[in-house]
Structure 1
Amino acid sequence: MAITIPYITALTTLFSYGLLFAFGQIRDLFRKFLEWSSSKNLQGYAPICLGLEDFYTRRLYLRIQDCFSRPIAGAPDAWIDVVERYSKDSNKTLIRTKRTSKCLNLGSYNYLGFAAADEYCTPRVIESLNKYSASTCSTRVDGGTTALHAELEELVARFVGKPAALVLGMGYVTNSAIIPVLIGKGGLIISDSLNHNSIVNGARGSGSSIRVFQHNTPSHLEEVLREAIAEGQPRSHRPWKKIIVVVEGIYSMEGELCKLPEIVAVCKKYKAYVYLDEAHSIGAVGKTGRGVCELLGVDTADIDIMMGTFTKSFGSCGGYIGASKELIRFLKYTCPAHLYATSMSPPAVQQIISALKVVLGEDGSSRGAQKLARIRENSNFFRSELQKMGFEVLGDNDSPVMPIMLYNPAKIPAFSRECLKQNVAVVTVAFPATPLLLARARICISASHTKEDLVKGLEVISKVGDLVGIKYFPAEPKKNQQEDRKKQD
């Protein structure tokens, strides 16, 4: 999805950043003169913090850091207790207080509502804690594989529709450690331009060649593939050992669904493997929660490597890889995150097993189906209402992730602080997580939100949107207003 920035908005955003940059450089110049005689650097050492990133952190990020990393005092349910903080030095350091504010939670990835206490999951997690303890204190290949780990891998493979699965202790590491094992020198990775940082780092660490295609554009992917196959490897022009195309199910900063059927068709045509990251889509979309393959009608047999995490829909931690038995066996022998990292905490594993059983209906109730229906209804309702109000909202229907574009740097703290004052906790995202001009607030909807919660959130966001000026489109007239006009005519 190409974001077209309104002309005036783009100009004012560029002017704001230019002004901040200019004044920051002037202040740094005076700072150098004042500290000339008492340099803090060790003799002969270069400054350890240097460059544009350090400048951005000091002059922009630190001034609004109260909008980020807000501590909470409880489970990330529909409502959370946000710890109040204050600063005595213009936000350079933040001091926590013992006071908390109860806020509507529109920022956590608690898509199915399993992050809080659950009538089916919680008792079983406590039981596993008593039986297995909080940690195995070992790697999977030593003494760190419990009966729960084996059960989870079988359950995940069945849920995602692959012959076998491997679970790892961290979602980020699942990408960054698995990709270098799958492909190396002589291979080619073709990555969506907006793929997550874990995919980017995994690709860079693999030593393979990397090409990027325009975000969610199958036609450009085909161009890149055709050109890469024709040219072959750099310098030698030999055929590539293997080609892997990496995409996401739902893009976390855009809330956009992958054009998976078209991408799979292109990969089949050119004999390229498909690596699908379903961190934000597994459990959150599809009639039975099985992700974008189910939602978009793609056969899981056409996806060579299915990756996902347990940190969003299942209220736990870790990640998984679903693939053929041959590939999973190979990964268990070679992946450093499996061989050298401590295995997942048994209670965390039990939480995932229990949540999956609820989703599958194996707990003996229909709560899983109800949660899936509710997350879809909540997401589509909230998105449509935001659009009617005049906000620029990214993403597709059914996606529980909906970014609201802010653009201007001054509107990032203004939106975040004003929402918090009215007891609504939102996440704002800026550079380097997004391009410099495309700052946004990212709303995440949960099945645990009631209709009253959503209406409350919409009312606050609408008021704050008017206050900070981020309604870039005209609002749709309400039905009652339209009917009154017809009567007047």
Structure 2
Amino acid sequence: MKKKYQALMMIDEAHSIGVLGATGGGIGEHFAVDRDDVELWSGTMSKALAGCGGYVAGSAALIRYLKYTTPGFVYSVGMTPMNAAASLAAIRQMRAEPEALDRLRRNSRLFLQLATDAGIDTKDTEDTPVIPCIVGDSLRTLALSKALLRRGINVNPILYPAVPEDLARLRFFVTSCHTEDQIRSTVAALAEELATLVAAA
């Protein structure tokens, strides 16, 4: 489609950088995308890259154009050296410890399988450690988040208008540092609290 209509393409790596691909290189690496076929690559440094803020990457000419014409750049400040250093260190660690990606993928598959077995709606989640639990109601999603927090499980509710009301959800971020016991107990607690909410509705 891009080539047919001579369009520019931007790929958002916010949930894939540091996660997908053989070395955590993201969607581009996972699907072997020719980097030259995509004009802009964007993502966040606040997840797998252990920093803050985001990035947009592309050709020098295109990035220079954006810097001088995009309103968000005019009065914003650049990334702090500390955040840049933290994200650079995260990238270096990913490259030095590929086994961490293997652990992450095992943990993600385990969480997803347990959630699926428990009848939890995760939509079409696959190959990612960002796993939703679709509740479909903002108030009940918030109540579920609070119930889990009381049990020592911190999970963020994603509510309307960030998502449509019928897709209100909890968003779980599985990491390579989670243990199998933590994953199993979390999914069990989620299933219990969700059943309690449904029964009370």
Same fold at TM > 0.5: yes
Q: Secondary structure of the equivalent of 2:175?
A: coil
Is 1:298 the equivalent of 2:27? no
Q: Distance in 2 between matches of 1:434 and 1:326?
A: 35
Q: Distance in 1 between matches of 2:101 and 2:126?
A: 14
Q: Residues 391 and 299 from structure 1, CA distance in 2 versus in 1: closer, same or farther, beyond 3 angstroms?
A: same
Q: Distance in 2 between matches of 1:330 and 1:410?
A: 44
Matches within 5 A, 1:459-470: 459-469=188-198
Letter aligned with residue 275 of structure 1: M
Q: Distance in 2 between matches of 1:325 and 1:419?
A: 46
Seq. identity, %: 32
Any conservation in 2 of the 1:395–1:401 contact (CA below 8 Å)? no
Q: How far off its partner does 1:322 sit?
A: 1.6
Is 1:445 the equivalent of 2:174? yes
Give CA deviations for 1:92-151 in whole Å, capped at 9, x if unaligned: xxxxxxxxxxxxxxxxxxxxxxxxxxxxxxxxxxxxxxxxxxxxxxxxxxxxxxxxxxxx
Q: 1:342 aligns with which of 64, 69, 77?
A: 77
Q: Distance in 1 between matches of 2:135 and 2:67?
A: 44
Q: Distance in 1 between matches of 2:140 and 2:181?
A: 27
Any conservation in 2 of the 1:395–1:402 contact (CA below 8 Å)? no
Q: How far off its partner does 1:447 sit?
A: 1.7
Q: In the alignment, which residue of structure 2 is the partner of 1:381?
A: 110
Q: Which moved more, 1:304-313 or 1:337-346?
A: 337-346
Q: In the alignment, which residue of structure 1 is the partner of 2:42?
A: 307
Q: How far off its partner does 1:432 sit?
A: 1.2
| Structure 2 runs not aligned, ≥5 long | none
Give CA deviations for 1:46-99 in whole Å, capped at 9, x if unaligned: xxxxxxxxxxxxxxxxxxxxxxxxxxxxxxxxxxxxxxxxxxxxxxxxxxxxxx
Q: Secondary structure of the equivalent of 1:273?
A: coil
Any conservation in 1 of the 2:108–2:174 contact (CA below 8 Å)? yes
Any conservation in 2 of the 1:379–1:397 contact (CA below 8 Å)? no
Q: 1:401 aligns with which of 123, 130, 147?
A: 130
Q: Secondary structure of the equivalent of 1:312?
A: coil
Greater RCO (Cα-Cα under 8 Å, separation 6 or more) = 1
Is 1:269 the equivalent of 2:1? no
Q: Secondary structure of the equivalent of 2:24?
A: coil
Q: How far off its partner does 1:290 sit?
A: 0.9
Q: How far off its partner does 1:429 sit?
A: 2.1
Q: Distance in 2 between matches of 1:302 and 1:277?
A: 14
Q: How far off its partner does 1:430 sit?
A: 2.0
Q: Residues 464 and 353 from structure 1, CA distance in 2 versus in 1: closer, same or farther, beyond 3 angstroms?
A: same
Q: In the alignment, which residue of structure 2 is the partner of 1:391?
A: 120
Q: How far off its partner does 1:388 sit?
A: 0.6
The structure that is helix-richer by fraction is 2
Any conservation in 1 of the 2:144–2:197 contact (CA below 8 Å)? yes
Letter aligned with residue 46 of structure 2: T
| Rg comparison, structure with higher value | 1
Matches within 5 A, 1:250-261: none
Q: How far off its partner does 1:310 sit?
A: 0.8
Q: In the alignment, which residue of structure 2 is the partner of 1:138?
A: none
